[in-house]
Structure 1
Amino acid sequence: MGRLLSFLLVACLSTTALAADAIKGERKEVFGDTTVHYSTFISTFLQPDIAKAAQLVRSKNQGVINVSVIKAGKPQVTQVSGSVKDLSSRTVPLSFKQITEQGAIYYIAQFPVEQQETRTFTINVAIGGKTETISFNQELFPGE
């Protein structure tokens, strides 16, 4: 599981290689003293043993969204929910699961990626008794 932590941390905090227009820098939102980091990628970027350990389906047609919440430099346990919408406005709910490992906490969910297109993600995160919403677009490319 240590490799899972390392991969998810890098995936969450670094630039994803999936966007056609090259995302500039890490993706994050700051709410007061709390920072929410997030990233998306196709699950084939995961090594088979890492995907298995995280109970993720490794497929060219499965995306992964990874969310972490940091307050005062420490990972936070929280509630994360959300959805992803395609260009035809079909919305798929995201079912996040918490992964806790060696002082890190991540929330991951999978979603289908049938074709290249831009998706709209809406992520809800409970922070300090309030739900904060993050919305972003991401162009996704199913693997080969």
Structure 2
Amino acid sequence: MRHLKRTLGHLLALAALTASPLAAAEQSIADGQYEIHYNAFNSSFITPEVARQNDLVRSKYRALINVSVLKIQDDGSKQPTTAIVSGQAANLLNQAQQLEFKKIDEGDALYYIGSFRFTEDEQLKITLSVQPDPNQPAYDIEFDQRFYVD
């Protein structure tokens, strides 16, 4: 079971690095206190076994968004940290799907995975709100990405 969760992390990293129109390279923001990494990719990039293990839906018409938050320590090291993550995916007509994120905790790695539907050759605006500290304002992240049926 632990191996399957680690496999999810490796697959998410692989999806982020895949040089394909189906996936965007990993993106991140940092402010000296936190580093927030995020990417979106077709759900078919993960194996059926990993999808079952983590209760994720695979489909050629469904994408996943992966968000991870690292707290930058005084010594410069980075520690995975929890956050409140929400967002939406909107098409060019501003029809939006609210994203619900599932927390996947591997101990030494922490991911928030959300999913949404898309149609062939669809441009979507992804809007994320990531709040590592509930006493501080959230980080607002926006990016556009085109999705293709796999």
Structure 2 regions of 5+ residues with no counterpart?
73-77
Q: Name which of 108, 125, 138 aligns with 1:131.
A: 138
Task: Work out whether residues 68 and 75 of structure 1, in 8 Å CA contact, stay in contact via their aligned partners in 2.
Answer: yes
Check if 1:5 corresponds to 2:9. Answer: yes
Paired positions, count: 139
Counterparts of 1:1-144 in structure 2, within 5 Å, are: 1-12=5-16, 14=17, 17-18=20-21, 26-72=26-72, 73-128=78-133, 129-143=136-150
In 1, distance between residues paired with 2:14 and 2:47? 14
Q: CA deviation at 1:11?
A: 3.5
Opposite residue 8 of structure 1, the aligned amino acid is L
Which 4+ residue blocks in structure 1 deviate beyond 6 angstroms?
Answer: none
Q: CA deviation at 1:130?
A: 1.6
- Alpha carbon RMSD of aligned pairs, Å? 1.8
Q: Which has the larger radius of gyration?
A: 2
Q: CA deviation at 1:9?
A: 3.5
In 2, distance between residues paired with 1:16 and 1:112? 22
Task: Work out whether residues 81 and 132 of structure 2, in 8 Å CA contact, stay in contact via their aligned partners in 1.
Answer: no
In 2, distance between residues paired with 1:99 and 1:33? 22
Q: CA deviation at 1:30?
A: 1.3
Which deviates more from structure 2 when the two are superposed, residues 29-38 or residues 88-97?
29-38
> Could you state the TM-score of these two structures normalised by the residue count of structure 1?
0.88
Deviations 1:87-122 (A, max 9, x none): 111011000010001311000011001221211000
Flag the 1:6–1:18 CA change in 2: closer, same or farther, 3 A: same
Structure 1 regions of 5+ residues with no counterpart?
none
Task: Work out whether residues 18 and 41 of structure 1, in 8 Å CA contact, stay in contact via their aligned partners in 2.
Answer: no
Q: CA deviation at 1:15?
A: 5.1
Flag the 1:67–1:16 CA change in 2: closer, same or farther, 3 A: farther
Flag the 1:18–1:40 CA change in 2: closer, same or farther, 3 A: farther
Q: CA deviation at 1:16?
A: 5.8
In 2, distance between residues paired with 1:29 and 1:15? 20
> Could you state the TM-score of these two structures normalised by the residue count of structure 2?
0.84
